[in-house]
């Protein structure tokens, strides 16, 4: 299980700090997603993540969208 809480990642019972810099991309700002996050879902779901859904509120929640036909997580 991989859950993000503000500036930490919770993997099972282990919390890892995750502080990312905000970078300029053209006229927009962006935050990169760690490679390990993609590797985790590739290992667990057996597919590569090419899209994410982002819930926007005070806290941004990034949810992987798994390809159709995979019923573990995500939806299209």
| Inter-CA distances, 22 with 19, 25, 28, 69, Å | 10, 10, 10, 34
Beta bridge partners of 40: none
Check residues 36 and 17 and name the one with the higher pLDDT: 36
pLDDT value for 26? 96
Q: Give residue 60's pLDDT.
A: 84
Q: Which of 47, 43, 38, 53 is nearest to 66 (CA)?
A: 47
Q: How many CA atoms lie within 13 A of 9 on its CB side?
A: 14
Checking if the pLDDT of 73 tops 60, the result is no
Task: Express each pLDDT in 40-57 by its tens digit.
Answer: 888 888 888 899 999 999
Predicted local confidence at residue 13, as pLDDT: 58
Q: Is 44 left (phi over 0), alpha (psi -120 to 50) or beta?
A: alpha
pTM surpassing 0.75? no
- The pLDDT tens digits for 5-29 are 545 555 555 566 678 899 999 999 9
């Amino acid at each position: 299980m991989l859950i993000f809480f503000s500036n930490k990642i919770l993997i099972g019972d282990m919390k890892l700090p995750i502080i990312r810099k905000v970078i300029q991309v053209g006229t927009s700002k962006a935050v990169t997603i760690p490679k390990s996050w993609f590797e985790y879902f590739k290992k667990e779901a057996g597919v590569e993540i090419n899209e994410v859904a982002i819930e926007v509120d005070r806290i941004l929640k990034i949810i992987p969208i798994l390809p159709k036909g995979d019923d573990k997580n995500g939806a299209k």
